[in-house]
Amino acid sequence: MKKPLILAIETSCDDTSAALIDGNCDVFSNVISSQEEVHLKYGGVVPELASREHIRTLIPIVEMALEKAELGLKDIDAIAVSANPGLIGSLLVGVSFAKGLAFSLKKPLIAVNHIFGHVFANFLEHKDMKFPFLALIVSGGHTELVIFSSAVEYTVLGKTVDDAAGEAFDKIGKLLGLPYPGGPHIDALASGGNKLATAFPLPMLKHKNFDFSFSGLKTAGMLFLKEKGTLDEAQTHDFAASFQHAIVEVLFRKTIKALERYSLKALLLAGGVAANSELRSTFSEYCNKHNVKLHYPSEEYCTDNAAMIGAAAQFKYKKKKFATLELNASSVKGMKLL
């Protein structure tokens, strides 16, 4: 095991997770407790219920992570926690716990931006990743295109001006009566459908900048469903495939434009939507053809998990970027490093 051993905590939304990860980004345990069942009947995450679930499960999850790794609190060199962005009540549970533990163990505390966590999830499985790279970050709350020149130097090229890509998947999933979050279910339905059945709008493609917009596309999907009334099975598959294709096409075209404009030869996909099968296959095909190195995490590390928070924390530990015990959580969206 390579020092430092970091205990990482993730409670930014509706997954409670704890992981133990060493200086080589080797994961000794990554325990995730999903709250999916708690929120199921509401069709989305209920913030207060999420915080209460984190309070209930966080300590047992940390104990499980230690047990699984066959390690004890005495072995830990630092404690890392997602401190922004996310649901404030959820973040506060993790941050308060991490501060208390750092205080009692007298160990450094590392605050991690959740979005950076998604990016650095890639280092868990691709230890040979080299800077610079372009990152397409696509989750339930974020859609951003960012150039990373190093672990601490980055330029945001563009972001969504309204809904995130994952949000568009989830809202349409809700209208189709799919369980929350709808993204993976639409992905599964799409595999049996014709993506060219309906040509949905491809927002912002004509704009010169690298910003995205998904709320118009979401409305187009809503209007389509309203007009058609009920869909039979084949129509549902076709709708899912066509709607998914519009999202993937916009993400793909903007991303390759950025790769070409900045002559970048490495691309990284991050966040829950990076698990989407059409997104992965579209980028794989392009990157193979154009000699661009493509990285994306395996499904376990795509959606929210603490191992990715630990991976981002390793970079901060090396630069001795520790938080004080006055650390506070922040729900403000964006990639600001704490």
CB of 318 to ligand KG4, least distance (A): 25
Which CB sits closer to ligand KG4, 43 or 183? 183
Given Zn ion, ligand KG4, none, residue 183, with its beta carbon under 5 to 8 Å by kind, binds: ligand KG4
CB of 335 to Zn ion, least distance (A): 13
The answer to whether 138 touches 274, Cβ cutoff 8 Å, is: yes
| Residues in region 298-327 near Zn ion by CB under 5 A | 304
Q: Which of 309, 283, 316 is nearest to 134 (CA)?
A: 283
- Separation of alpha carbons 74 and 142, rounded Å: 36
CB of 133 to ligand KG4, least distance (A): 19
The answer to whether 131 touches 148, Cβ cutoff 8 Å, is: yes
Which CB sits closer to Zn ion, 140 or 221? 140
Which CB sits closer to Zn ion, 154 or 200? 154
CB of 334 to ligand KG4, least distance (A): 13
Three-state DSSP state, 144: strand
Phi, then psi, of 125 in degrees rounded to 5: -115, -15
Note whether 139 binds Zn ion by CB under 5 A.
yes
- Separation of alpha carbons 307 and 296, rounded Å: 15
Given ligand KG4, Zn ion, none, residue 117, with its beta carbon under 5 to 8 Å by kind, binds: none
CB of 40 to ligand KG4, least distance (A): 14
Note whether 14 binds Zn ion by CB under 5 A.
no
Which CB sits closer to Zn ion, 82 or 236? 82
Which CB sits closer to ligand KG4, 80 or 101? 80
Would you give the DSSP letter of residue 2?
Answer: P
Given Zn ion, ligand KG4, none, residue 181, with its beta carbon under 5 to 8 Å by kind, binds: ligand KG4
The answer to whether 269 touches 294, Cβ cutoff 8 Å, is: yes
- Separation of alpha carbons 278 and 265, rounded Å: 21
The answer to whether 8 touches 310, Cβ cutoff 8 Å, is: yes
Contact positions vs Zn ion (CB under 5 A) = 139, 304
